[in-house]
Copies of this chain bind each other. A is one copy, B any other.
Amino acid sequence: MKITAVIMAGGRGERFWPKSRNNRPKQFLSLTSDGETMIQKTVKRLSPLVDAQDVFIVTNAAYTDLVCDQLPDVPKENILAEPCARNTAPCIAFAAAVINRKYDDAVMLVLPSDHLIGYEDIYISTLKKAVSIAEEDKNLVTIGITPTYPETGYGYINFGKEAGAGYEVERFVEKPDLPTAKQYLASGKYLWNSGMFVWKISSIMDNLRMLMPDIYEGAVRIGEAFGTSEFTEVLVKEFSAFRSESVDFGIMEKADNIYTIPGSFGWDDVGSWLAVERINETDDAKNYIDGDVIAIDSERTTVCGGKRLIAAIGVEDVIIVDTDDVLLVCSKNNTQDVKKVIAQLKEQGRTDLV
């Protein structure tokens, strides 16, 4: 069966401000020294399994030009522009309906656009296992990440009996506190919920019809209009009427036949500026330095330079990000507070800097 991929690229990702902005969020940035953007890497690493012709990008209408520029091999009609943000369930329903219209049934990989994978061959073989399960019956498969430490910032997947190449899912759980996360890790029965899914179009459409019939019906009408002159009009009308809902809550936590494949492929969700030193090579003093920088006596510091010289002297555990109009100097302990700055700027009406 044909394998297609749906890349979810509508996120606004404030955590990489000031490099990420409303008009260029994280998935369209390069955070690695090779210069490739996150979404370019996402499509490229799929190439052993999915042809660019079969890749679909669901994104905000404001970003379609960025997608076109960065992914010239993806057909323009595969760039699916959401007229507004409605979380993952409407996004997936929209994409599934369009693919259904284009190919009838097919396998559909659903993947975030802004994660990194360290071991791409393992990633591909993990996806192949997921495809093998998804091709049977009405199975819905999620890729779980084998946890390496008791992270409290992710949801977890509790799995049970072995089933083919994977496991039956017992339940999905919310972000745990630290003692609970430690128990999960010790049990060996929990995986990080990475937001990657594999299923047939027919499976997800059936589940949408049963569990989210309103969204199913709107998606079907969008699918029927795909390729016609009414498409944009129908899309705006139907999509805007969707309620905002995650596929986790709307489908995965309620459906039967949920399976998971444990993945150990160097997954990184690149969740904040702290990730940059993790996903790049650092120097002897554990600094990651990009750009025109003179660093003296500095340690464990991340410098993302812009057009000017940066002199970093005696600084430790700091993140320095220079752009044309904003400079960020942030302690590694405070990367979550970048959002507070954005909030202040919005309050002040300084939308050009957000």
Contact = CB atoms under 8 A, between A and B. Distances in A.
Contacts of A310: 326-329
Contact of A312 (B323, B325, B329): B329
B318 A353 contact: no
Interface residues of A, number: 35
A313 interface: yes
Contact of A341 (B296, B324, B325, B337): B296
Interface string A319-354: 010111111111101100110110011000010010
A316 B345 CA distance: 23
A294 interface: yes
A314 interface: yes
Contacts of A243: none
A311 interface: yes
Interface in A1-30: 18
Contacts of A314: 330-331, 333-334, 337
A309 interface: yes
A16 to B, nearest CB: 13
A285 interface: no
Contacts of A338: 311, 313
Interface of A: 18, 294, 296-297, 308-316, 318, 320, 322-331, 333-334, 337-338, 340-341, 344-345, 350, 353
